[in-house]
């Protein structure tokens, strides 16, 4: 790619994608957009990619990224740059980059953090993996969507960073909700409890934002689905497994989120995890004990064996 970026193809117009596109349009870029739901100004990915110097994907996972980019690839010119801003797994990203390289197309992974509020005002945190020189070429574009742009290393490192960040967020969500439920059961005022935590060392994004904005309000509408959080924690667990790093807390965190995903509605917001935790029942003491067999059951002559003759 030579010269300034003028035309951008953007694939994926969900909640985050729509807000990011709006910022790019306000900045004067020509946007060619496509979405599976038909919300874009182009009918096909290839049409959106035609004439674009940069193609951005903002879709649910690595599989969807691959499908979208390969569908758009015939429309991309040599020298174009693909930027995956979704939360994908590093391995899939590197495999896709190898395919693109054969066509003269380069790639960066640049997942985001900050949810819809920061997507709306263009202040997202961006974690960019790939060549530093390539990042500098697209920095003027990325700066219209994010205020903090981190170069995390080689291609795939942005996705690894995002997965680990979301794992911590997922673990903190469980801990924050459990603390809230325990405090309420004890008789503590929940708002006072959260105020104290936020003035102390236990605060995290759940106590600072999710509980006040989503739980106390009763909205449970952060804009980030529980299924996506579960997917991201799964990516982090996969990275740990591939690197042979024992991470028992990560494994248990993933189990809780997967159990919640199976229990709640498919489109549940991730803050609805609280409903799942509320519904958990403590096992009774009796359920954890093995019942000793009766003397009759323990006897080899008991039951149906009584009366059987010893074989001759």
Backbone angles phi, psi at 81, to 5 degrees: -125, 130
Q: Reduce the DSSP state of residue 53 to 3 states and report it.
A: coil
CB 233 within 8 A of CB 282: no
d(CA 6, CA 51): 10
Q: Scan for tokens 């697209």, then name that residue.
A: 138
Q: Which of 67, 61, 59 is nearest to 88 (CA)?
A: 61
112-113 and 124-129 as β-strands: parallel, antiparallel, unpaired?
antiparallel
Indicate the SS3 state at residue 225: strand
210 carries an active-site annotation: no
Number of Cβ within a 10 Å radius of residue 308: 8
> Residue 77 gets which letter from DSSP?
P
Dist CA 114 CA 133 (whole Å) = 25
Sign of dihedral through CA atoms 102, 149, 237, 228?
negative
Cβ burial, residue 223 (10 Å; 0-12/13-18/19+): middle
Strand pairing report for 81-84 and 124-129: unpaired
Q: Which of 118, 133, 144, 162 is catalytic?
A: 162
Q: How many of the other CB atoms lie within 10 Å of CB of 126? A: 26
Q: How far apart are the first and last CA of the chain?
A: 93
Longest CA pairwise span in the chain (Å): 99
CA 155, distance to chain mean position in Å, is 18
Q: Catalytic site residues?
A: 162
């Amino acid at each position: 790619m030579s010269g300034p970026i003028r035309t951008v193809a953007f694939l994926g117009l969900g909640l985050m994608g729509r807000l990011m596109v709006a910022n790019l349009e306000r900045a004067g870029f020509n946007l060619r957009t496509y979405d599976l739901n038909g919300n874009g100004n182009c009918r096909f990915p290839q049409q959106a990619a035609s004439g674009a110097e940069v193609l951005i994907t903002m879709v649910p996972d690595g599989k969807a990224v691959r499908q979208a980019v390969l569908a758009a690839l015939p429309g991309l010119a040599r020298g174009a740059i693909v930027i995956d801003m979704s939360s994908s797994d590093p391995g899939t990203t590197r495999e896709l980059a190898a395919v693109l390289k054969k066509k003269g197309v380069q790639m960066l992974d640049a997942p985001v953090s900050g949810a819809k509020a920061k997507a709306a005002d263009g202040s997202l945190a961006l974690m960019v993996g790939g060549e530093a020189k390539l990042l500098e070429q697209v920095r003027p574009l990325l700066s219209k969507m994010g205020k903090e742009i981190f170069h995390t290393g080689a291609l795939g490192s942005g996705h690894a960073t995002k997965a680990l960040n979301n794992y911590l967020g997922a673990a903190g969500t469980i801990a924050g909700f459990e603390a809230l439920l325990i405090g309420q059961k004890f008789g503590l005022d929940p708002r006072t409890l959260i105020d104290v935590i936020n003035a102390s060392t236990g605060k995290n994004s759940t106590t600072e934002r999710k509980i006040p904005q989503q739980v106390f309000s009763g909205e449970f509408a952060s804009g980030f689905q529980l299924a996506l959080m579960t997917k991201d924690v799964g990516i982090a667990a996969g990275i740990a497994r591939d690197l042979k790093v024992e991470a028992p807390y990560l494994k248990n965190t993933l189990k809780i989120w997967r159990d919640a995903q199976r229990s709640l509605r498919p489109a549940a917001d991730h803050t609805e995890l609280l409903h799942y935790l509320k519904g958990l029942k403590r096992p009774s003491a009796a359920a954890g004990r093995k019942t000793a067999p009766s003397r009759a059951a323990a006897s080899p002559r008991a039951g149906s064996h009584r009366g059987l003759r010893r074989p001759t």
